[in-house]
Structures are given as C-alpha cells and as structure tokens.
Amino acid sequence: MKHALNVTREKDFAAWYQAVIAEADLAEDSGVRGCMVMRPWGYGIWERIQRLLDDRIRAAGYDNCYFPLFIPLSYFEKEAEHVEGFAKEMAVVTHHRLVGDGKGGLMPDPAAKLEEPLVVRPTSETVIGTAFSRWVQSWRDLPVQINQWANIVRWEMRTRMFLRTAEFLWQEGHAAYASAEQAREETLKALEMYRSFAEDCVALPVIAGEKPENERFPGAVATYSIEAMMQDGKALQAGTSHFLGTNFASAQNIRFQNSQGEQELANTISWGMSTRMIGGLIMVHGDDDGLRVPPRVAPWQVVIVPMLRETDEDAAILDYCRSLAGELTALSAFGEPVRALVDTKATKASAKRWGWVKKGAPVIVEVGPRDVASGNVAVLRRDRLYGEGGKLATGFLPRGEFVGQVAGLIEEIQAALHGEARARLEANIDRGVSDFAGLEAFFSEKAQFPGWVEVQWSRPTGAALDGVVERLKALKLTIRNTPMDAAAVDGTCIFTGEPAVERILIGRSY
C-alpha cells in the first residue's frame, strides 16, 4: 500500500520522524545551530497546548508573571548542586556591543565586556527564588504560586527538533509554601495536572511516577515525571514536577516569620512542560501518512477544501464552503467553538487534501460542483484514512447530516486516538521479568519494539545505585520512574536480590 510519506515508521523511525516534521510543516532548521523555526502548524499546536494548559494552571491558583531572560553568574554560584547539574550547557553573554572588525565584518566590542557575564536562563529557579525572597516576609505571604511561559536555552551537543533543541519554549511553575508537607502535596498536584492534561488534551497516555535519585533535577529532593511510550517503544519524559525542599530557599534566603513569630525557611517546588510535548505527540499519533493531531490541540479541526477549477462554478463552491464553515464554527466541541478553515490557496485540490492529511487535520471535507448541486459533502476522517482494499475511506453524506454529527465526530476522533495509544502502552509494559538475566534476555529479544518492563527493586542509593545505572546503561536502558499506581511488591530486587520495596519502569529513552 502506498502512503503519503516516502519513509515508514517500521523502516526507519528516526527518518520517519524528520519526514513528518518537514511534510506537516511543523518546523524546520533555522540556520542557527540547534535552534529551529516553528512554522504555523507546529506553533499553532503549541498555542493550543498553551491555551488549555494555562487554563488549568490558573484554575490551580497560579498567577502568570515574566522574569528576566538573563541570570547573573553569581546567582548560580549560590546553588552549588544546581549549577553542577547545568554547568555544562549554558549560553553566556559576555559583551553588550558589536563593532566593526576593520575587515568589513563585525565583532564583540572589547570595550563593552560585561563585568559579570550573564547566563541565558536554562531554567529560572535562581532568578525567581530571588524574587520570592523579596515577596515573602510573613506566613501571610504564603503560598506564592507563579507561572511563566518563556524561552529556555540549554546548549545541547546533539539536537533533534522538538525533542532536544538549544532553545525551546516551555512553562515553568514555581511556588513557595510554609510546610514541607504542603509543598510535597502541591508537587504531586502539578504532576496530576500534567497527567490529566496529557491524557485528556493531547490524547497521550502516560505513566506518572517518581524519578530515581540519579535522575533528579539538580538540587531537588524529589523529581516526578510523566512518561509516554513512543511508537518505537522508547520512553519520552513529557513533563516533570520537583519538590525542592528548603534547598533553594536556603541558597536564596526565602524566609518567613511563622505565626509564632519565628523565622522559617520556605519549601519550594517547580514544574515544567515544554515544546518537547509536540515531539511526543508526533511519535505517538503519527502514521505513515504523516501526523494525526488530536482535535483538542489541532489549530483547525475541520479543513474544507473547495475543488476549484478556475471556472464560473468556483464562486458557488466558495460560497458553499464558507457558509458551511460558518455553520461549523457556530457549534461547540469540548466546550469550545469548532475550529473550521476554508483552504482557499491557489493549489490543486488533491494537493491540498494530501497536505492536510500530512498535517493531520482531524476532519477533511472536500466540496466539488456536484456536492454543491446535491447539497452533499465528502468527508475524510484522518484517524481512519483507508477503508477496505486500501482506498481512501471518504464518506459522502448530506451537508445537514454532517453538520449535525461533526461535534460528536470531533470528540470521537479524540477518544479514538487516545484509545489506540492507551492500548499500545498497556500491551507493551511487560511485568514478567523477575531477575537481571531476564531483563537482558527481554531487551535482546525485542530489539525492534522493546516496550518497557515493570520490575521490583530494593531502591538502592549512592554507589549501589550507580552500579545499577551502569548495568542498565550497558543495555542502553534507564529507569523511567516508580509508577504512582503500581501494585504492591511481592518479590525481590532484580539488581540486588534483596526484598523489593517498590516497582519501577525500565526502558530505552529519548
């Protein structure tokens, strides 16, 4: 069977991923090392993610703010463990002016060297914590809960669009509480917000759990993540939430007077989700014809393609399409107006249809002169593109019937994409491995689509954990997280043979 992309997932998953990004006009290389250009369809998906996640962040009682892009070097020096974790990969501003280099080019002006270099934010705990130390004086000032939508720079050596870029976009939530208990609880609330957002909005089935000690955010007491399974069986960490205890508060002097008049350190938390989510969306929902965008995050849910032929009939076709779009946008799906577009570009209708298939618009409607005459529409569901015999499963139905069904159809497509991905996730977590030899055998046998294993362990720490990490690394594996809802333990640790204390997920990862 022929497909719209010239590479399949099975043949070369990495090449397929790049092909989807290019063919769906999601993003492209910018010419600036490690930075991409997010094109309208890719950025439109990000705007939908922003809108839906932002609503949840506000509902959780967070206020949006904006903090500086630049962080003075000295801010990092205060938090030793934190900087250790990030020091390898930061962009540093050292000059504030350019001058001619005398050879017709430009160079940083040696006379304009900054006294203190500025780091382009790799995350904002240090600069936001400094603000918290000004804002928090008394227990009455707590909690402080703020969020920012911002660009972030981490100087990655090997970059990959959406998954790992030098500059990326994200939101970062930061909060300070009076007690460690409350801060831990709120860390988990943020995790649950991410889990339900990923499942409900991005149709991305995820496992929420705690990261092992060696995968903690630099300076954190505990890090939690949501992990999604890609179609190559690898894991993608799609959002993290960190309990920072008093580590950052101590370095940044976030203190408050409690109701007994005593000075205490606040407990802080932070959590972030980024444009990486779009990489996950591609690798979970894409197929050999391109992307399939879950309707809730699709910039356009219904795209209407008029079949124009530069004849006198064109005007009537366009009228028909525009009035149809008007009817659709007056409807609601998921509590929002339906997003419908008439694609009037000066391109052949079949090219437009395949363009929207590759972009993954959930519903594609084609309108030709005969449809106008008969009052019909030709409807293509992106999630079920082909019927029997490999032909496009275009449905022909009266316009009124389509309009009556479309909101339900949009909700059905969202559920279908989620159901498909959820079934794949559940079918590919193996719980039968009970010793390290079993683990080795499992992953050597299932090289193509390994999936994950859930095993029991004794949660070793320090050097013992380092040993475990090394053994896994030799198999190209990592511990993903300790699922929140895992079953109780009933066996021994696959690494140490000691009695197990919890279950962990192990897999290959992005």
> Should residue 336 be labelled a site residue for a copy of itself when binding is judged by CB under 8 A?
no
For residue 486, the minimal CB distance to a copy of itself (Å) is: 38
| Interaction between residue 90 and a copy of itself (CB under 8 A) | yes
Site for a copy of itself, residues 134 to 173, rule: CB under 8 A: 134, 140, 146, 150-151, 153, 155, 166-167, 169
Report how far residue 504's alpha carbon sits from residue 484's, in angstroms, rounded to the nearest whole number.
10
Contact 207, 213 (CB under 8 A): no
Q: Number of C-alpha atoms within 13 angstroms, CB side, residue 425?
A: 22
Contact call for residue 106 and a copy of itself (CB under 8 A): yes
Query: Looking at beta carbons only, is 63 or 181 nearer to a copy of itself?
Result: 63
Q: Which of 281, 199, 195, 229 is nearest to 429 (CA)?
A: 229
Confirm or reject binding of residue 4 to a copy of itself (CB under 8 A).
Answer: no
| Contact status: 66 vs a copy of itself (CB under 8 A) | yes
Token pair 């801060």 in the structure block, residue: 183
C-alpha–C-alpha distance, residues 440 and 334, integer Å: 45
For residue 349, state whether it binds a copy of itself (rule: CB under 8 A). Answer: no
Residue 75 CB, shortest distance to a copy of itself, in Å, is 8
Query: CA torsion, points 290, 295, 301, 305, in degrees to nearest 10?
Result: 30
Which helix (H) or strand (E) segment is 286 a member of?
none
Q: How far is the CB of 55 from a copy of itself (least distance, A)?
A: 13
- Shortest separation between residue 104's beta carbon and a copy of itself, angstroms: 8
Task: Determine which residue in the list 15, 73, 464, 475 makes contact with a copy of itself, applying CB under 8 A.
Answer: 73
Cα distances (Å, whole numbers) of residue 140 to 123, 135, 189, 272, 318: 28, 11, 22, 26, 61
Residue of 6, 11, 93, 348 that binds a copy of itself (CB under 8 A): 93
Does position 31 bind a copy of itself by CB under 8 A?
Answer: yes
- What is the full DSSP assignment across 212-226? PGGGSPTT-SEEEEE
Q: How far is the CB of 204 from a copy of itself (least distance, A)?
A: 22
Residue 221: phi and psi, rounded to 5, are -85, -35
Contacting residue, 6, 18, 30, 214, with a copy of itself by CB under 8 A: 30
The torsion angle over the Cα atoms of residues 457, 510, 420 and 57, rounded to 10 degrees, is 90
Rg, the chain, Cα only: 26
Give the interface segment with a copy of itself, choosing from 11-19, 86-94, 213-221, 485-493 (CB under 8 A). 86-94
Told to check if 12 binds a copy of itself by CB under 8 A, we report: no
Considering only 3, 67, 160, 258, the residue that binds a copy of itself (CB under 8 A) is: 67
Q: Which is nearer to a copy of itself, 105 or 389 (CB)?
A: 105
- Indicate whether 297 belongs to the interface with a copy of itself (CB under 8 A): no
Judged by CB under 8 A, the stretch of 125-133, 185-193, 363-371, 434-442 that binds a copy of itself is 125-133
Reference 501, options 489, 509, 487, 483; nearest CA is 489
| Residue 293 binds a copy of itself, judged by CB under 8 A | no
Among positions 21, 118, 206, 308, the unique one binding a copy of itself when judged by CB under 8 A: 118
Is residue 293 within 8 Å of residue 359, measured between CB atoms? yes
Q: How far apart are CA 431 and CA 156, in angstroms?
A: 34
User: Which residues inside 45-64 make contact with a copy of itself, applying CB under 8 A?
Assistant: 46-47, 63-64
What type of residue is 456?
Q
Considering only the stretches 23-31, 283-291, 391-399, 446-454, report the one whose residues sit in contact with a copy of itself under the rule CB under 8 A.
Answer: 23-31
DSSP 103: S
For residues 455 and 181, give the distance between their C-alpha atoms in angstroms, rounded to a whole number: 29
For a copy of itself, the closer of residues 25 and 412 by Cβ is: 25
Is the alpha carbon torsion for 300, 306, 309, 310 positive or negative? negative
- Residue 392's CB is within 10 A of a number of other CB atoms, namely 12
Give the footprint of a copy of itself on this chain (CB under 8 A): 28, 30-32, 35-40, 43-44, 46-47, 63-74, 76-77, 83, 87-99, 104-108, 117-120, 127, 130-131, 134, 140, 146, 150-151, 153, 155, 166-167, 169, 346-347
